[in-house]
Structure 1
Amino acid sequence: MKPMNTRGVGVAEASHGSRNSGLENLLEQARWSGTQFAHAVNRAGAEVGLTLKYDQSAVSHWLRGTQPREQVRPVVLEVLGRRLGRPVTYAEAGFRRPRNQKGPESGDTAESLLDLGRTDMEPSRRGVLTAGLYSATLAVPLFSDQAHAEERARPTRPTTRIGEGEVATVRTMTDRIADILDELGGGHARPMAAAFLVNTVAPYLRASATEAVRKDLLSATSDLTYLAGWMAMYERQHGLGQKYYLQALNLAREAGDHVTYCRTLRGMSLQASNLRYGRKALELADSAAEAAPKAGPRLVAFLRGQQAHAASMVGDRRQAFQRLGEAETALSKADSRRESIGGYDTSAYQFHVAHVLYETRDLPGSIAALKAALRAKPAQERQGRLHANAVLAQRQFEYGHVEEACATWHAFLDDYAMLSTARGDEHFETMRRRVASRRKLRAVRELDERARQVAAVKGQNVPQGTA
């Protein structure tokens, strides 16, 4: 990407056309000044690694007909969509669609998955147009909207034939990748998932198969794609994670797989809640619940727990605690089996309790629930334990229990040293910022020294005095 000048107008934005009345109307609806709009674009660009320095003059150029640079146009649309609470199209904003961005319908399941997997395999291709920006206004496909889905996805000239063995291969690899995620982190597991999708699964989708085998394959592929989206979300690649989730939804619809469809919607709700889009999180959680009228008790608990979290984010205390009660009741009726991908158990339930209590200003209760979640977490789930310990330490520190927080952060570092995880990196940086002002305490100094040792092993630079 060519650097912007300080006024935010790059060389590719130098040509002028007729006045852009579409963008002008959108800015009026948003009730934004040019300066406010420019600053919002700059902030959103930073989410995907773009250093933008737009100001009022850049917006004036756009209103006079200049087209923003191709990699910036989707950022502008997302900023407007977030402000207005609805999707904004290129045509509505008076922009040309970027040349290397496809329209909303790809038309071919295997081809879409290939494009997405190849993008994930090659970091150099992860531009704004392919992987970057999370859309808070994106509409999701309905489960019942399946007209001609199988015909669109079915290959026209299959050269190979697959059977139940290939489906079993996809499911086995999905389980193995989930194990690697827990043991080593998403930084190692997700590239494996992307490579397997590209090199093995996409050719399977183009092969000949009976209708029953094809449905099973689509379902198994949906599971794997959901897992890839979950890992991307945890690695803070939120735009990429959202794309994986959408592919998982489409695959589940084609397979008639209600469980994975609903589970994916719930994952999308969790992503929205992580990004603090409470209304979107509740909308997605409710959609997941509505799409699963015949769900088993474990999935019901899964969905109600997320509804509780999202409801608490929008200030609906009554609904939040009602949903928690429903989740607890459903979980008590579930059998002892637990899915390896996206499973829900007592630990996950307690984590939802902790979120609801934190959102409703019960910090001590939230801390107690997080401790209960950690006690119930299976020993092999290192990735989940790392996240839970990090959140617990932050809340203990916020409550003023600094020494206890330091002890919890040591437990976090035990797992962080063994994992490759962007979310872990984020928690590590949060830990450094939180304790930087408390270095007079012995517990903080000891944590500081431990953090330096871990950072040195992981090749990070920890400046002196920042913990």
Structure 2
Amino acid sequence: MAQAVNAAGAEGGLRLRYDRSSVSHWLSGTRPRYPVPLLIVEVLSHHLGRTCSLDDAGFDERGRAHSPCQVTGQPPLHALAELAGRDADPARREGVRRLPYTVPDPASLSLPRLSGPAGTAGTAGTGGAAGAAVGLPRTSHDASVRFFTGELGRYGGGHTRNTLALYLCDAVLPTLGRRGPGPAPPRPQALLRAARLAFVLARMHADELDHGVSQRYLHLAARLADEADDPVTWSIVIRAHSAQLLALGHRRHALSHAEAATAALPRGASPPARAYVHAQLAVGYAALRDKRNALAALRIAETATEAAEKITLTAGPGSSQTVPDPFDAYTSAALAFQTAETLQRLDDTRSALAALARSAAARSADDRRGLALTHARRATLLLRAGQREEALARWPGLVALSAPLRSAAVRRVVHALGDKLRPGARSAATDF
């Protein structure tokens, strides 16, 4: 029990060292500090195969009083307002960011509803130059999605996540009538903007390894995309769920989410969306050693990426982005990174290294986070392939590239690489 709670805490970035005596104390009535009660009920729920509440575990109202807002028992706009409000408040955000990650039940993952004929795009469509079957005009809110996505790539998830949470609370959600019944329900386009901003905020938190709150933003983004009747956005959000599950080691759950994201894509989905979703599907199959399906998914992603880049080239001025988001574009650099992960999981290290070289060469200089992760992954594979000197030669540049970033994910991989390369490398990495 203690080991399971420690492992659940590690998924949320907590370093716990509970042992057998700790469990004895809990049984005798000692209440661990927040958020450990939430971790305990998550562990019990997982092993029992059913939901275990704080009351079931023996924690009274005092334990519940410290539990942050729940996102499943109320309308998504209200839940998003409460979650983002706590996230934007310096006095309350620490509790939100220590929320434990909960492994979802694949059986509870249902495809989004569709108002139109089966296999067609929803009423809201998908925006941007790449969205052919569209209808969502570019507005200031669309520009905000691109802006915050760009900030994530340039400076890391810790740079503007507070600003984005506050922007959601003060500039986006009030326009949707969340403070009371309005004269009319929110338009699909407005719901979709909120969903996409919640998606970007989830990515920022994941980059800071706050997986519990990231998961809750993704959950709300998916619900809002469903209400907006946009299966493309829903698929992109569930694809992000899959990537998060895989990063935390839940391979089968990750594949089930990637398959659900692919199944929900309508025939009219834009090439960037198809490429983004199928690239993750390839990684999911590779994680379970399914080479045939992994390579087949990669081929679909490659074809879609080629089509997406052709659309970007012919869309005219202002269509290109230095740090694209999956709603509008999907680049060959991003696909090459996913290709490398797929091939690495299939034990093809040489081809994975070649894919990482292509990814690094194709990335924009503004995508510092992507460049840092690409170079770190490349150096790690070089080291694994026995090319220690070549990996070591890349170390100074990697540290310099990572220094301006506020990204716990980058810090973790750079520190881990430094430990493997040389005794003095890790101390050099702690300066950023």
TM-score interval, smaller chain: 0.7 to 0.9
Q: What are the residue-to-residue correspondences of 1:435-450 with 2, within 5 Å? A: 435-437=421-423, 448=425
Equivalent residue number for residue 2 of structure 2: 38
1:190 equivalent to 2:190? Answer no
1:431 corresponds to 2:417? yes
Task: Identify the match of residue 331 of structure 1 among 279, 302, 305.
Answer: 305
Q: Give the corresponding residue for 1:111.
A: 78
Aligned residue type for 2:152 = L
Give the partner amino acid of 1:309: V
2:220 and 2:160 map into 1 onto residues whose CA distance is 19
- Shift of the 325–367 alpha-carbon distance from structure 1 to 2, 3 Å rule, reads same
* 1:90-109 to 2 correspondences below 5 Å: 90=54, 93=57, 98-101=64-67, 102=69, 105-109=72-76
Equivalent of residue 325 in structure 2, options 315, 318, 341: 341
Whole-angstrom distance in 1 between the partners of 2:183 and 2:151: 30
Match of 2:361, SS state, is helix
Aligned pair partner of 1:74 in 7, 23, 38: 38
Shift in CA distance, 318/180, structure 1 to aligned 2, threshold 3 Å: same
Query: After TM superposition, what 4+ stretches of structure 1 lie above 6 angstroms from structure 2?
Result: 64-67
Q: Call closer, same or farther: CA 1:87–1:329 in 2, change over 3 Å.
A: farther
Q: Does 1:289 align with 2:262?
A: yes
Q: Which amino acid aligns with 1:264?
A: V
Aligned to 1:34: none
Q: 1:45 to 1:124 in 2, by over 3 A?
A: farther
Unaligned regions of 5+ residues in structure 1, if any? 1-36, 147-165, 440-447, 459-467
Q: After TM superposition, list the pairs within 5 Å mapping 1:189-228 onto structure 2.
A: 189-206=160-177, 214-228=187-201
Q: Is the 8 A contact 1:177 1:192 kept in 2?
A: no
Supply the distance in 2 between the matched residues of 1:70 and 1:114 (Cα, whole angstroms): 22
**After the TM superposition, which of the residue ranges 391-400 and 76-85 deviates more from structure 2?**
76-85
Deviations 1:176-214 (CA, angstroms, capped at 9, x unpaired): 222222222222121221110111112112175766x72
SS of structure 2 residue aligned to 1:333? helix
Query: 2:363 aligned with 1:374, yes or no?
Result: no
Residue of structure 2 equivalent to 1:143: 112
Shift, 1:242, TM fit: 0.6
Query: Hey, what's the Cα distance between the residues in 1 that align with 2:345 and 2:44?
Result: 28
Which residue does the alignment assign to 1:387? 373
Provide the C-alpha distance between the structure 2 equivalents of 1:418 and 1:71, rounded to a whole number of angstroms. 31
- Report the Cα distance in structure 2 between the residues aligned to 1:228 and 1:184, rounded to whole angstroms: 14
More displaced, 42-51 or 263-272?
42-51
Q: Deviations over 1:309-363 (max 9, x none)?
A: 0111112222212211222233333343378323422112211221111111122
- The whole-number CA distance in structure 1 between the counterparts of 2:414 and 2:229 is 41
User: Which residue number in structure 2 is paired with residue 254 of structure 1?
Assistant: 227
SS of equivalent residue, structure 1 residue 352: helix
- Matched position secondary structure for 2:64: coil
Answer yes or no: is the 8 Å Cα contact 2:285–2:294 preserved in 1.
Answer: yes
Equivalent position SS for 1:132: coil
Structure 1 residue aligned with 2:292 = 318
Q: Secondary structure at the match of 2:422?
A: helix
Mapped contact 1:140–1:246 kept (Cα < 8 A): no
What TM-score comes out, normalization by structure 1 length? 0.74
**Residue type at the aligned position of 1:421:** S
Q: Is the 8 A contact 1:134 1:238 kept in 2?
A: yes
Distance 2:29 2:400 in 1: 55
Task: Compute the displacement of 1:304 (Å).
Answer: 1.3
Shift of 1:307: 0.8
Instruction: Give 1:378 shift.
Output: 2.7
Structure 1 residues 85 and 358 mapped into 2: Cα distance closer, same or farther (>3 Å)? farther
Specify whether residues 430 and 209 from structure 1 end up closer, same or farther in structure 2 by C-alpha distance, changes over 3 A only: farther
**Whole-angstrom CA distance in 2 between matches of 1:455 and 1:130:** 23
**Structure 1 residues 410 and 268 mapped into 2: Cα distance closer, same or farther (>3 Å)?**
same
Whether the 8 Å CA contact 1:262–1:289 is kept in 2: the answer is yes
Q: Does 1:308 align with 2:282?
A: yes
Structure 1 pair 175–50 and aligned structure 2 pair: CA distance change class (3 A): closer
Instruction: Give CA deviations for 1:143-178 in whole Å, capped at 9, x if unaligned.
Output: 2299xxxxxxxxxxxxxxxxxxx9823222222222
Distance 2:102 2:141 in 1: 29
More displaced stretch, 379-388 vs 79-88: 79-88
Work out whether residues 183 and 380 of structure 1, in 8 Å CA contact, stay in contact via their aligned partners in 2: yes
Structure 2 gaps of 5+ residues are 116-136, 313-319
Is 1:272 paired with 2:272? no
Deviations 1:282-316, CA, capped at 9 Å, x for gaps: 01101101111322333222211111101111122
* Aligned-pair CA distance for 1:419: 2.0
Alignment RMSD (CA, Å) = 3.2
CA distance in 2, matches of 1:299, 1:432: 36
8 Å contact kept, 1:74–1:129: no
Aligned residues: 392
C-alpha deviation, 1:388, in angstroms: 0.7
Residues 389 and 411 in structure 1, CA contact (< 8 A), matched pair in contact too = no
Measured in 1, the distance between the counterparts of 2:289 and 2:19 equals 35
Aligned with residue 236 of structure 2, among 263, 273, 291: 263
After superposing the two structures, state which structure 1 stretch, 223-232 or 114-123, moved more: 114-123
Larger relative contact order (Cα-Cα within 8 Å, sequence gap ≥ 6): 2
Alpha-carbon deviations, 1:209-251, whole Å to 9, x = none? 766x722111111111111111111111111111111111111
Query: Could you tell me the percent identity over the aligned residues?
Result: 30
Cα pair distance change 1:87/1:296, threshold 3 Å: farther
Q: Would the aligned equivalents of 1:110 and 1:206 in 2 still touch at CA under 8 Å?
A: no
